[in-house]
Structure 1
Amino acid sequence: MAGILFIISAPSGSGKSTLVSQLRTLVEGLDFSISYTTRAPRGSEENGREYYFTTREEFERMVAAGDFLEWAEVFGNYYGTAVSALQHAKDLGKDLLLDIDVQGALQVMKKMPQAVSIFILPPSPQVLERRLRNRSAAENMTAETIIEKRLNGAKGELKMVWDYQYALVNDVLDEAVTEMRAVVLYERGLRDDGIEELAKGCRTNAASAKLQAVLGAFGE
């Protein structure tokens, strides 16, 4: 069944990109939407692979032209998903993965309530802080104010988990990938091999013990 829109969000440092990459190697028929951003490339990132890197002026022109399905400003940079991504996936006969932040996700959920939303959580505040510090160091942005801003932003996003249909805790990568695969296959209509039980256990309305424990560790 092609044409399903999967929205995937997570606080920075939750390992979302790795999960999505692993998922695409295990499940066929998934197209990945490459977002536009005004931030500078990091490390080995390439234009058209991780993001389409553009200027603020060009991004704002696209906003005015109605070229974005969703867009948001995060830590001083714009991020957005082009409307054309949906048609591109349909033309290929594939489902579409949107890797977007909470602000953008809420926009898409409002416009497309049939979309399937998945939230990825880090296993603990300590792990999240370590990952954020490592990322900041890799970007040569080690100022404590920047790190604290990112950490507080991530904690704020965790409050939005209940707006999503599914929630996965990325504590053990293989397990998180297995759960995400189950959610995708379940939404495609597969009900065998334990897929249904595993997927339903990830629903936010199931409020699993693991999910509650992680949110409790963050004070939620």
Structure 2
Amino acid sequence: MTTNHGAGESDRFDAYCQALRMNIKAALSVSGPEREDGRAGGWRDTDIYRQTGLARSTLRALRQAEEGLEPKPDLRTLSKLADLLGIPMAFLLMTPEDWELLIKAVGDLETMMKSADKLLRNDFGSHATVHRVLEQVGVFRTPRPSNATPDPREKARLDSRDERRRRITHTLGALMLLRQPQHEELRMQNLVLVALAASLANQIKQPTDKDPEHGTQYRS
């Protein structure tokens, strides 16, 4: 018997597989040599093999959906394709929802930049700064009911949402600020990364009673 959690996890995995397949197919169809009529051309399997060493069977498995078969490339395969395409490897794994998240985060960026700049002054930010930015902007803590005696179960649910957001802010900050050298000429870059991590954390939807407990979701 499949649980709701298991079904949700399977759906997300299927969505990532579909996104990967569609991303590779779309990118390879327009990133090859230009056609004689000036239109974007695609890659032939033989040319991909010459430049990457990836066999036609590997490419076919990545491009086509066959019943019972899912694309399961290793990191080396994805790295070779990304190098061929001239893009970051992570872009091959992006879903439409991921791009939507980025668009929404950019909308928050100016506000988060001002807050991060005020907090940091001339210092460098860390994963902890991301948390402080959201607190200063006033969007970190989930709004509580105005009644004096809140329902204990509702309080526990809201506390759980806040704890999940706290973990997400530190995670994004750690990932985006990892190995960032603290040189004066890179201070603005550090500031932007702190602000972007805060913007992303603010846009990631927190689970409700009807949402799966885990997994990346996005605010409506």
* TM-score normalised by length of structure 1: 0.26
* TM-score normalised by length of structure 2: 0.26
Higher helix content, 1 or 2: 2
Higher strand content, 1 or 2: 1
Answer with 1 or 2: which has the greater Rg.
Answer: 2
